[in-house]
Structure 1
Amino acid sequence: MRKKWFSTDKYPGIRWQQHPKRKHGVRFDRHFGYRFMFQGKRYEGFLGWETEGWSELKAHTKKELYLENVKKGHGPTSPIEEAEQSREAIQAEKRKDISFETYFNNRYLPEARTRKKPHTIRTEEQHLRDWLSPQLNGKPMRSITPDDIEQIKLAVLDKGRTLRTAQHVLAVFRLVWNHARKRRIVETDSPTRAIEIGKINNERTRFLKPEEAQKLLETVKGLDEGAYELTLAALYTGARLGELTSLTWSAIDIQEKSITLLHTKTGKPRALPMANPLFEILKTKNEGAPEDLVFTNSKGERWREAPWGFRQAIKDLKFNEGRSDKREWICFHSLRHTAASMMMTAGVDVRTIQTHFGWSTLAMLQRYTHAMDESKRAAVNSLEKALAKRPTGKVIQGSWGAKHNG
């Protein structure tokens, strides 16, 4: 037998059923419910017992809230939805108590592996293991403060590492933090924003001498032919690694002996004449389709980093041995600096060099002042030699020395 529903005109849409035995004071306990219509759809449900604190007024207030949510299109419209949203809110709060390390390993890392290179992932994991975890020590992300980040920076520097390393470590923290912020685990800007790193000077000051460059080419060639071709191309064009590894046959003009770099740092294509040693290599290679890569590794794939053959040659030649300052280390990018330095030494005018290397300003040429000075000294020496003799062949001792002839 179905229980009978009761209601009053005072609170439309509110009704209740009486418990057959259980009392609430002098009355039988009442179980309140509600119902209402909106745009042809009925909404109804149970709310609770009078012994649990429900009343006609309270039931009416809750019904009006559900009706308003239905009209607005958001918010709970029933006790079931309200309970579910409450559970989700509790879970969301619990998720906000997640530690940085746990979030990195369980949330950030699986997603990052789908879009980042393996060596990048290894570097980020190393920064977490060596610098971030020891300082944060399981602290919830939303409790991390700028002071915590400052301690991380100081820990890096206290171990004798450079400001650049500290910058890289904090960059990993910021990446993970922003990843969490997009997923509403944290709500504020990264605390790294409050940290001053200081001015970093990572300008490389060392280039290869011509004889060193030649020795490097010979050594690389003995290790890996593909690495040799890429190294030679870098030396004879001054192009960046990424510009060469993305070079396709459509950018090679064998007839005109020219190369057009399309994927440049500035985004502006850069056309370069082809030196004979590079021309000899390219004309003997099997030219592929226009979209095929010119320089590939042993698997026929694009180089993702400096070739092993190049790196091994640097070790074999001991170019970096005994040098503690990494700015003095020879790396693949040093080939670009070497090319610029040699051009400067040869007396090529600065505007031509600027155009060749794709520099938007002449500021980059400041690091090659030593080469410019050598060129100027050679020019002055030649001038001195030319002016040191008269047409008769007799030596003139001008204002630098003693007396003049004649």
Structure 2
Amino acid sequence: MAIYIVCPNCRMEYSAKKKSCPKCGYVVKQNKTFRISVSFHGKRVRQTVSGTNLQGAKEIEAKIKSELVSGEYYDRRQAKIAFEQFVKEKYLPYAKEKKSYNREESLLRLWIFPIIDKKTLNNISPLDIEKVKKEMIKNEKAPRTIEYAIAVMRQVFNKAIEWGFYFGANPAAKVKKPKKDNRRMRFLTKEEAEKLLSELKKHSIQVYEMAYLSLYTGMRFGEIANLTWQDIDFQNGIITIKDPKNSESRVAYMTDSLRDLLYAKYKREKPKNSSGFVFHRNGKPYKQIPGTFKTVVRKLGLNDGITDPRDKVVFHTLRHTFASWLAIQGTPIYTIKELMGHKTLAMTERYSHLIPDAKREAVEKLFGNT
């Protein structure tokens, strides 16, 4: 067993015990590439590993030796597993329990598999992932969606490395995220909100109730979909939001009208709802936003003539509207942050321009009295 450093200057291999390349004198301080050599009963494995330190290389060396001894090494690596095969047989079964499973599976199937095709894991380069990114940009996918697709590929390779199906640097780690402000700017006026809720009520009571809940609490769709009756305290008018996007549970406060709406639903549906979910389809929670919402938005023409995705009305617009209305009525920015469940204040500051200017008002009052 031996570990060598590969000199990035002259490509010479030398012992990891040496501090500099004996051929050109180059000193590698970081981002080292190691060549690992392991022999066992006549079988020899040479593996190149990048982006790690000596301790990490030693751990990989020990892992290879262990798998050679157990006979697992060649069974696993001679197959040179294809990316798509690895994802379908190994990664997706693992990701099945994740909240993001449906979105990850969709991105892989629609955008990543067609570009990566049947390439094996060790034949995929950052250029291949750049091609996925380029294709998504060409089809005008939102920067956040493209960023998510890159993150999914990075996660797939991380698991391939962790499970011993791939050695080397993660190719997705070298792909830059698309740069664009993808934050939603559009929020509904009171009149638009009333029209939307009224029309939703005609099409689907359940979608109407979900939209009403988001509009008056700022809850995300995923939080609404996973809401159970145990999370609702009718007596105190609060909703406990467990396991939200930023992993920190929070409380939402019900208006009297929202409490009445949910209590009527509880009395109407609880006896025949064994699942415990407030909103469900045949006892199972919603995995995606019902198409009824998009149909009603289209019918009302709320997105007519709008090309910028940030200005289009989607279900998330209801949450954005909740925060915008709070800001307009002068709610302190920190209070908005807590109600929205934002992890940092920077995420909430986009609403600050809607808050009445208290400093200007103070000066005007001062000089107005002289």
Q: Structure 2 length normalisation: TM-score?
A: 0.67
Which amino acid in the other structure matches residue 100 of structure 1? F
Contact kept? 2:143, 2:182, Cα under 8 Å: no
- In structure 2, stretches of 5+ residues that fail to align are 1-40, 42-64
For 1:314, give the aligned amino acid. Answer: V
- Equivalent residue for 2:319? 336
1:9 counterpart residue number: none
Q: Distance in 1 between matches of 2:77 and 2:251?
A: 57
Q: Show the counterpart of 1:354.
A: 337
Aligned AA (2:242): L
**Quick one: higher RCO (CA 8 Å, sep 6+), 1 or 2?**
2
1:284 match: 264
Aligned-partner residue type, residue 94 of structure 1? Q
CA distance change for structure 1 residues 271 and 185 in 2, over 3 Å: closer, same or farther? Answer: closer
Q: Deviations over 1:324-364 (max 9, x none)?
A: 32222222221111011112112233343333223354323
1:315 to 298, 317, 327: 298
Q: CA deviation at 1:370?
A: 4.1
Pick closer, same or farther for the CA change 1:90–1:162 going to 2, 3 Å: same
Query: Structure 1 residues 291 and 265, CA, compared in 2 at 3 Å: closer, same or farther?
Result: farther
In 1, Cα distance between equivalents of 2:159 and 2:343: 34
Asked whether 1:236 is paired with 2:216, we answer yes
- In the superposition, the TM-score normalised over structure 1's length comes to 0.61
Question: Offset of 1:151 from its aligned partner?
Answer: 4.1
Q: Given residue 195 of structure 1, which amino acid in structure 2 is its aligned partner?
A: V
Query: Aligned AA for 1:236?
Result: Y
Match of 1:150 among 117, 130, 134: 130
Shift, 1:182, TM fit: 3.7
Classify 1:267/1:157 alpha carbon distance in 2 versus 1 (closer, same or farther; 3 Å).
closer
Change (3 A) 1:130 1:250: same
Matched, 1:264 2:244: yes
Aligned to 2:46: none
Partner amino acid for 1:278?
Answer: L
Equivalences, count:
298
What is the CA-CA distance between 1:224 and the residue it aligns to? 0.9
1:103-252 correspondence to structure 2 within 5 Å: 103-105=86-88, 108=91, 117-118=101-102, 120-133=104-117, 138-158=118-138, 161-252=141-232
Describe the shift of the 1:215–1:107 C-alpha distance in structure 2 as closer, same or farther (beyond 3 A). same
Which secondary structure state, in structure 2, belongs to the residue aligned with residue 177 of structure 1? helix
User: How far did residue 101 of structure 1 move?
Assistant: 3.7
What displacement does 1:240 show? 2.0
Q: CA shift at 1:314, angstroms?
A: 1.8
Q: Deviations over 1:355-406 (max 9, x none)?
A: 322335432332223422xx449x96xx79xx69xxxxxxxxx9xxxxxxxx
CA, structure 1 residues 232+156, in 2 after alignment: closer, same or farther (shift >3 Å)?
closer
1:138-184 Cα deviation digits (max 9, x unpaired): 44321333344334434444555554444333334333333433443
**Amino-acid identity (%):** 30
Residue 284 of structure 1 aligns to a residue in which SS?
A: helix
TM-superposed deviation, 1:202: 1.6
Q: Indicate if the aligned counterparts of 2:124 and 2:171 stay in contact, CA closer than 8 A.
A: yes
